[in-house]
Amino acid sequence: MAIAGSPKMLAWDIAKGVTTISVANIKQYTPADLKSIVVNIGIVQREIRGEQVPLDDIMAVKAKNQRLQRLNQAISTISSYAKLRRIPL
């Protein structure tokens, strides 16, 4: 099944916590879709890392780190699934 909408918007939804990535969700995507998702997650990660948040604003720092953590978890899940299925990313 193709990605509904933009892969970059899917990556932003993952970062915000709207969408989660699990093995059950990954099964519906083709190898090309998975590669596109991983590439766009990398793009969104760079954008989030480039955000400047004041260090004295603890909640903003925590929110930024949570978004990065969600993206890292998604990449880890996709990579392990692809490795088991021998899908090159």
Q: pLDDT tens digits for 31-86?
A: 999 999 999 999 999 999 999 999 999 999 999 999 999 999 999 999 999 999 99
- Asked, for residue 2, whether it belongs to a domain, the answer is no
Q: 28 lies in which domain range? A: 7-85
Residue 1: per-residue pLDDT: 62
What φ, ψ does residue 56 adopt, rounded to 5°?
Answer: -85, -10
The domain total for the chain is: 1
What φ, ψ does residue 24 adopt, rounded to 5°?
Answer: -65, -35
Contacting residues for 19 by C-beta, under 8 A, at least 6 apart: 10, 13
Cα–Cα distance for residue pair 46/73, rounded to 1 Å: 15
- Asked, for residue 1, whether it belongs to a domain, the answer is no
Q: Are 21 and 75 in contact (CB under 8 A)?
A: no
- Asked, for residue 42, whether it belongs to a domain, the answer is yes
